[in-house]
Structure 1
Amino acid sequence: MNVTDLLRSLALDPADLKPTPHRQATAQDAAERLGPDPLPCAACGTPARSTRIIDTPSHGRRWLELCRDCMLATADRRRPTEPLAATLEVLRDAAEQVGVTVRVLVDSPKAA
């Protein structure tokens, strides 16, 4: 989902979101926004569980804090672009590089 669609689906005006620092934002910046007293979700006001930076066309880079439900409601649910076999091969290669054994378990197909 692009930024414009994301903001529209949450009924948010980018002008209402806090601008990011002029310097490169860090993981510490994000952690402080979600610390012991997390900021409210920009969409519904409940305590936020995630934060990210969005680059809005009209207002530049802004923080977007979302609660679990609002985050899941706007998550990208498109199917992966890579076939599962290719993804598993990358995971196997990465595991081999660090000396970890990986076994993929798959449920057997259900009878019709």
Structure 2
Amino acid sequence: MKSEEAARKLGVEAASLSPAPAAPRFAQTWARMQQEPPCSACGRPSRTSSVIHDPDHGSRWLDRCRECFLATPPTLRVPPGRLLEELREVAADTRLRLRTYTDEGGWEGE
């Protein structure tokens, strides 16, 4: 799920969030996470930070605690099957031992 969708699902209004850079560098996001600002949804200490882009309010920080993050997991950029295929290829190319577990096939790579 994209950050904007996560904010909607958690009932967070963009107007209530702190302004953020449009495209923060990793160091900026990491620095914010180290401060553990309150979760934008429930107020507990946050564990992750991202940026939403709202047409009326611009870029805003969306901070989520562990529970709120798990309730709104990020969207994978590729289908899970393709991700596993690519991971297996990279592991084979680098001669790393890889074991994966899927609900469908159980443990693979033993």
TM-score by length of 1: 0.71
1:61 to partner: Cα distance: 1.6
Does 2:11 match 1:8?
A: no
Does 2:93 match 1:94?
A: no
CA 1:48–1:57: 2 relative to 1, 3 Å: same
Q: Secondary structure at the match of 1:19?
A: coil
The equivalent residue for 1:25 is 24
Q: Deviations over 1:4-40 (max 9, x none)?
A: x433322221011111136x412221122121x4100
The equivalent residue for 1:70 is 68
Taking only aligned residues, the RMSD between alpha carbons, in angstroms, comes to: 2.9
- Would you tell me which structure has more strand in proportion to its own residues? 2
Structure 1: gaps spanning 5 or more residues: none
1:95 to partner: Cα distance: 1.1
1:91 to partner: Cα distance: 1.4
Q: Give the structure with higher Rg (CA).
A: 1
Structure 2: gaps spanning 5 or more residues: none
Q: Distance in 1 between matches of 2:73 and 2:80?
A: 20
Q: Secondary structure at the match of 1:39?
A: coil
The number of aligned residues is 103
1:77 to partner: Cα distance: 7.9
1:60 to partner: Cα distance: 1.9
Q: Distance in 2 between matches of 1:12 and 1:83?
A: 29
Would you say the 8 A contact 2:50–2:62 is kept in 1?
yes
- Would you tell me which structure has more helix in proportion to its own residues? 2
Q: Deviations over 1:65-105 (max 9, x none)?
A: 01011111122589x97373x44321121112323233446
Percent of aligned positions with the same letter in both sequences? 34
Q: Secondary structure at the match of 1:34?
A: helix
